[in-house]
Every structure is written in structure tokens, then in C-alpha cells.
Structure 1
Amino acid sequence: MKIEGRTFVITGGASGLGRATAEMIGQNGGNVAILDLNADLGKATAAELGPFARFFPCDVTSTESIARAVEGTVAWVKETGKELGGIVPAAGIANPGTILDRTGKPFDLSTFDLVIAVNVRGVIDTVRQFLEHLAQVPPVGPDGERGVIVLVASTAAFEAQKGQVAYGASKGAIAGMTLPMTRDLARYGVRVVSIAPSPFRSPMEAMMSEKVKKGLLAAVEFPRRSGEPVEFAALVKHSIENSMLNGSVIRIDGGMRLPSKM
């Protein structure tokens, strides 16, 4: 499927991997609806990117907030004539914590609930609300394709570290929903691909201590560095354009396999 002439929705699109993906979409002739909780950053990002970008405030833990963003995006699509082409739900949080602390006390369940609310429920709710409109887009090309969902998992889906019970569960859920969602949407000509990155340069990585960053990089085979957002965006581009990519979880991690702890 071509990016040019289509509109793509990116949650968490005002920073990190989401912003890099938004820039890539614009560079390839597409429009991008940037959904983000941070209104100031979202507006600034859309203004910096130019007329191909439009910001819609959105809290992915709120069904009503997502619905308003969907309504605004659909209206913009009608205004521009660039049909909806795909959804990249890139908003996510980590919120680390061991299930029992050093004194043997369990972590607050609200910590777990928040990660699941953003990383799992927020993804499903965003995707399902936009899918209603994506499924009505006229099919294109010899395959009759309508669009693509590019989910964002993590290497933590496969070897989450100590303190990542919530995050590992949330990203494992993304990996686990990829194939059944693919099978659900095949009749509509909509593909589903998940990307599982190692630590990339992003606001989430910036919150890590230097000790943790150093330990993570030691687990990378080559190249021994953090991933660059543009490298993630390049894989999103390929996932959109290559119609045979469907139902797969693709690691982008420099050969990293996470140890139990740093």
C-alpha cells in the first residue's frame, strides 16, 4: 500500500518513535493525525511538521476522548480527500516496579492497572474505533487492500526484566493479539503488523538511569547503541508498503536478548 495520498493516525505522535513516524509519513506524501495527551507538545509538533499534520488531543485511557479524536480525524479526512490508510498506536508507558518490594510488600495494583490501561486497553480502544472507518475505505490495488494497523510491542514481550511485570504483560498482550486481529480483519483487506523494538532513543529511555542504559547496551550484539527513531520509522514504512507483511511480530533490536537484570 502506498503512503502517498493517505492519512495515518499515530497515538503518542508528538514525541519519540511516534513523532519520527509522523515525520516519515509526511516525507512520503501522506497526512498524519497526531493524537497525544500533551496538548502543548502536540500543537507545537503539528505546527513544526507543517500542513500534512493535524493535532487532536487524546487520552487513550478514555473512550470518550478517543471518540472525539476519531470524529475530528474523520472530518479532516473528508476535508483533505486523503482517505484513512492506517493506525499506529505508539503511546505507551513503563512504570516499573517489582511485584514484591524488598520488604515483601506487594506493589500497588494501580501501578499495574495504569500500564494495562494505556498499553493494552488504550491500543484496543483506539484501533477498534478507527477501524469502523478504515473498513469503509474503498479497496485499492490488485489485492483490494484498505489499510494497515502497525502495533508497537517491545522486546520485553519476550524477555522482560525484573521489575517489568506490568510492562512485560502489556507488551506480551500486543504480541499475542497480532495474529487473531489479523484473522479478524482479513475479510476487510486490513493487515496487522507488530514491531518489537529494543530500547530506542525516546522520552521513555531518557527516564532510565545511566547504569540501566549501560547495562542494556551491553546486551546488544551489533550495533552496540540505542536505536534511532528514524530506524523505527523506516520499519513502519516497510510494514505499510509491503503487503505480504501480515500477522507477524518483527523485532528491531540489534540482536539484543535481555538478561534478568542489570
Structure 2
Amino acid sequence: MQITDTAAIVTGGASGLGAATASALAQRGARVFAFDLAMAIGEAPPVAGVEYVAVDVTDAAAVQAGVDTAAGAGLPLRTVVNCAGIGPSMRILGRRGPHDLALFAKVVQVNLIGTFNVVTLAAEKIAEVPELDHGQRGIIINTASVAAYEGQIGQAAYSASKGGVVGLTLPAARDLAQHGIRVLTIAPGIIETPMLATVSEEFRAGLAAGVPFPQRLGRPEEFAQLALSLVDHDYLNGETIRLDGALRMAPR
């Protein structure tokens, strides 16, 4: 599917996976609208072809306004990549007592409901753009995690939210097929994002040692490369693709 001279939305676009994807889409000729929290945008460097928009994905009105901005930019909105997410950890029953219900709800609200919010509102606008070959209009790529399949100790909320994203993929693809919109999900393993920048080199080496091959951490640019490959490959739809070097997470 064509990327040049189209509009694209990337959530969580100010850092990590989202920033790499926004930059890659811009390099391919898209006008990218990077949604993120205002604080994150304030710390993000300027990138040619990328316009930052302050959006909280859990706020339907804010998402609608951001989607309207992207769709009204004078180019057809054809690509959406959902990268916004959070990953706090807490055991269901730990030393401090039972899992905080508000924390569980917040993780699901951001990772799953936020994703669905963007999918729904962006799909409405993509469905309005002119058809390409075989009736296609656009693509939505969501981000899950290998934790959706092998959640570790302390990841009940995160795994449940990302499992929901995996479960959303096929019915969303089926729902949106009549509008010419493909839906795919990437489930990354351990990627060198800003969250890992605060841990020791020894800890990072231990994480890398657990990856069968290649025995290293993934890079945000590799996530972006896969996302663009999914955009290009018109017959991929309704699938979740693991990006993990054959990693299968241990309990801890």
C-alpha cells in the first residue's frame, strides 16, 4: 500500500517504538501525526515530516480531535500504528497485599481501551478515503507483547491488557474488511526502549542472554521496519506477528 503522500497516525510517537515508527514513515514520504502526552512531546526532538499532537489515548474527545487533525491535513489518512502503552508491575498477592484494582484498571484503560479508542475513531476516517487496488483503503497496526502469551510474575495487568489487543486483532480485521482496512498486531519481545535505559548493563546483558537468536535485545528501528513491511504487504491481515528472536518468557 502506498505510503508516500499519505497521512499517518502513530500513538506513543514521542519516544521508543512510536518515535522510531513515526520517523520511518516520514522517511517514506508520509506526513506523520505523532500522538503522545504533552509531557512526552516536550522532551521529544523535532523530526522532519512528523507533527506532534498532544493526545491522551484514553480520552475519546482528545483522540477524536487528533484524528480529525490528521484526516484534515489534505492527504488521505491510510496508516495508523498504535504504540502508546504503559507497563507497571504488581503481584496479584504480594508483600503489600492484593493487587491494586485501580492500577489494573489503568493499565487496561491505556493499553487495551486506548488502543480500541484509536482503532475505532481512526477507522471511521480511513473508511472515507478513496479506494486503491482491490478496494483497500488503509491499515491499522496495534502493539501487543510476548507477555500476552507468556506473562511473567507481576505482569497480570500488563499481560491481560496485551492479551486483549491480540484478541482484538481478528474480529477488528473482520469488522473493517468491508471498508478496505486491514488490522494487524506486532507482539515485541525485549526491545531497547527508554524504559530499559535506567537499568544496569549487567541486567541488560542478562535479558539478552535469554533470547535464543540473535542473542541481543531488539531495537525500535526493527519494530518500525516490521511495521512498514506490514503496510507494504497487502495480503497480511488479521494476524499477530511476534518480534522476539524466538524468545519464550520464563516465569520471572
Length-normalised TM-score, structure 1: 0.91
C-alpha separation in 1, matches of 2:135 and 2:81: 21
Q: Kindly report which structure 2 residues correspond to 1:20-99, keeping only aligned pairs within 5 A, or say none.
A: 20-39=20-39, 41-42=40-41, 45=44, 48-50=46-48, 52-75=49-72, 77-78=73-74, 82-99=75-92
Distance of 2:122 and 2:172 partners within structure 1? 14
Classify 1:43/1:101 alpha carbon distance in 2 versus 1 (closer, same or farther; 3 Å).
Answer: closer
Corresponding position of 1:187: 178
How far apart in 2 are the matches of 1:258 and 1:139? 41
3-state SS of paired residue (1:48): coil
Matched residues in 1 for 2:241 and 2:195: separation? 20
Structure 1 SS opposite 2:8: strand
Deviation at 1:239, TM superposition (A): 0.4
Q: What does residue 247 of structure 1 align with? A: 238
Percent of matched pairs sharing the same residue: 40
Task: Tell me which amino acid in the other structure corresponds to 1:119.
Answer: N
1:108 aligns with 2:100: yes
**What secondary structure is seen at the aligned counterpart in 1 of 2:129?**
coil
Hey, what's the Cα distance between the residues in 1 that align with 2:158 and 2:22?
24
Q: What does residue 19 of structure 1 align with?
A: 19
Which has the larger displacement, 217-226 or 17-26? 217-226
2:8–2:70 CA contact under 8 A, matched in 1: no
Offset, 1:212:
5.3
1:69 corresponds to which letter in structure 2?
G
Structure 1 CA distance for aligned equivalents of residues 198 and 88 of structure 2: 10
Matched, 1:157 2:157: no
Q: Deviations for 1:175-214, whole angstroms, at most 9, x for unmatched residues?
A: 1110111110111110011001001111233355666544
> Using the alignment, how far apart are the partners of 2:29 and 2:150 within structure 1?
37
Matched ranges for 1:217-256 at <5 A:
217-256=208-247
Distance 2:200 2:164 in 1: 27
Contact 1:56 / 1:73 at 8 angstroms: preserved in 2?
no
Q: Size of the alignment, in residue pairs?
A: 252
CA contact (8 A) 1:216 1:258 kept: no
5+ residue gaps, structure 2: none
Q: Matches of 1:216 and 1:115 in 2, distance apart?
A: 24
How well do the aligned residues superpose, as a CA RMSD in angstroms? 1.6
User: AA paired with 1:42?
Assistant: I
Structure 2: how far apart are the matches of 1:85 and 1:134? 6
**Conservation of the 8 A alpha-carbon contact between 2:13 and 2:83:** yes
Alignment of 1:208-223 (within 5 A): 213-223=204-214
Pair 183,207 (structure 1): closer, same or farther in 2 beyond 3 Å: farther
Q: Are the counterparts in 2 of residues 199 and 205 from structure 1 also a CA contact under 8 Å? A: no
Q: Return the offset for 1:57.
A: 0.5
- CA separation in 2, counterparts of 1:115 and 1:191? 26
Q: Structure 2: which amino acid aligns with 1:88?
A: V
- TM-score of the two chains, using structure 2 as the length reference: 0.95
Contact 1:93 1:204 (C-alpha < 8 Å) held by counterparts: no
Please give the alpha-carbon distance, in whole angstroms, between the structure 2 residues aligned to 1:190 and 1:43. Answer: 33
C-alpha displacement of 1:36: 0.4
